[in-house]
Amino acid sequence: MTDRITVLDFGSQYSHLICRRIRDLSVYAELVPYDITAEELARHDPKGIILSGGPASVSDRDAPIPADAVFESGLPVLGICYGHQLIVHRYGGRVKRANREYGSSTLTVDGGGAGLLGGIGGSVRAWMSHGDEAEQIPRNFEVIGHTENSKAAAIASRDGPVYGIQFHPEVAHTEKGSRILENFVLNVCKAKQDWTMSKFVEETVGRISNIEGDVLCGVSGGVDSTVAAVLIHRAIGERLKCVFVDNGLLREGEPREITDMFRDNFGVNFEAVDAAQEFLGKLGGVADPEAKRKIVGEEFVRVFSDFARSRGPFRWLAQGTLYPDVIESGVSKGPASVIKSHHNVGGLPEWLDLEVLEPLRDLYKDEVREVARILGVPKSIYMRHPFPGPGLAVRIMGEVTPEKLGIARTAGRIVEDELLQAGLYSDVWQAYAAVGDDRAVGVVGDERMYGNIVMIRVVSSIDAMTADWTRLPHDVLERMSNRITNEIDNVTWVSYAISSKPPATIEPQ
């Protein structure tokens, strides 16, 4: 069995990053609700437990508290931020409200920290984000690191492998944060580095080969659904049927590209369905972003269900759902709020009459790309920029109209064209153009025009769980802007989005 680290989710915006950083060590990490039962925890059989941060205070009446089994299991435990305060509280120390500390601090390593803080030097930059702090550490604990404002920024038990740190080692802002997690996972927990995508492919193909019935797989041309389809095809062969639904919300020329790609590359049963009018009709007059996502999700399933009834029988509906989709849709059942519904997660209606098969739901995007490489998917496909399941519906603020669809399509193509021309396409995670109802005055020829505003969004990321806006060269931005205003009617202004994730999301809706 693969060794694993179990991360208890107390609602931090960084919880998923803990898992991601640990997986970089070739150790499987999973995010579970903080209130996981003792029985469930035993079934997971982790090598160690990490308590995430979170917005609560341990002094709150309804503060989230894990089962006693977490501390009584004898397993190594690492508490981060709120998790650190939980450890202080659980073992008899005292936590107090403090002036909120948010940002970079200098962590000074004290004696006794070799197990967790070994090899990071005498001091490092650490990222703080907290409103409580340890006023008095528990008996039989020692301070192994402090900052100017936090005298117990890192503590360790003298009685066993239990550690608490006030800062966030999982974020890039913490210098040598990955080394701290490595110390805990490999040196303290003694976890084996046996989480590889080759092993994932082998085990997943073996598991899927044992399912009964035929599988209907919705493919969009993106890396997620493509990899899911190729993986399932390797397991069950002709029992897989791939269907591509043209929802009228795709990029310019995409329906033909996707059809050609599947027919030329993969040798799977494939059929395209033109449902553009149905989708656009359902979206008419709808402006709320969550409502649009739900409509697109439900209409997808209706089309698939109709296809299954007429071409079946099928038992399974396969999708390219990823771990970030599950987390952001609130399906992980932790205390974190829902960020947005994904068309293939939160958008699924109760009347779905097919069982759902999601072979990639435990993977991050970069892991999926490695699976694609192993399966022999062409690089031009698996390195393609992500595209949202609801398509341009979430890149159009307000109601989806033919005019705004045309603007988003053409402007998006221009953005990608210019990145390709500049040799920057593969250097960024995602790039697109969005349009809403905002307008601005411009001058076209000798006439004033009250036209649309187009927003360009280009971000850099590793796994889409966090993202930074890309500092494109000014001449590239200038060419994008000039082409958009010259080639698209009724566009007068072009803006560039410079918000990172968090606090923003990558897509505007």
Determine how β-strand 154-157 pairs with β-strand 215-218.
unpaired
Which residue of the set 16, 19, 81, 217 is catalytic? 81
Q: How far is CA 186 from CA 5, 8, 106, in A?
A: 10, 19, 25
**Spatial distance between the Cα atoms of 18 and 462, rounded to a whole number of angstroms:** 14
Decide: 480 and 415 in contact? Cβ < 8 Å.
Answer: yes
Nearest CA-CA partner of 399 in 295, 503, 479:
295
Decide: 181 and 25 in contact? Cβ < 8 Å.
Answer: yes
**Spatial distance between the Cα atoms of 194 and 352, rounded to a whole number of angstroms:** 37
**Spatial distance between the Cα atoms of 364 and 21, rounded to a whole number of angstroms:** 11
Which residue of the set 168, 233, 342, 343 is catalytic? 168
DSSP, collapsed to helix, strand or coil, labels residue 447 as strand
Decide: 218 and 354 in contact? Cβ < 8 Å.
Answer: no
Q: Where are the alpha helices (DSSP H) in 150-288?
A: 177-182, 197-208, 223-236, 254-265, 276-283
Q: Name residue 141's amino acid.
A: F
**Spatial distance between the Cα atoms of 127 and 125, rounded to a whole number of angstroms:** 7
168 catalytic per annotation: yes
Which residue of the set 170, 254, 358, 370 is catalytic? 170
DSSP, collapsed to helix, strand or coil, labels residue 133 as strand
**Spatial distance between the Cα atoms of 1 and 189, rounded to a whole number of angstroms:** 16
Where do we find the tokens 């007059």?
285
350 catalytic per annotation: no
The helix/strand count (H/E) of the chain reads as: 16, 18
343 catalytic per annotation: no
Nearest CA-CA partner of 296 in 307, 306, 286:
286
**Spatial distance between the Cα atoms of 241 and 217, rounded to a whole number of angstroms:** 6
Tell me the catalytic residues: 81, 168, 170
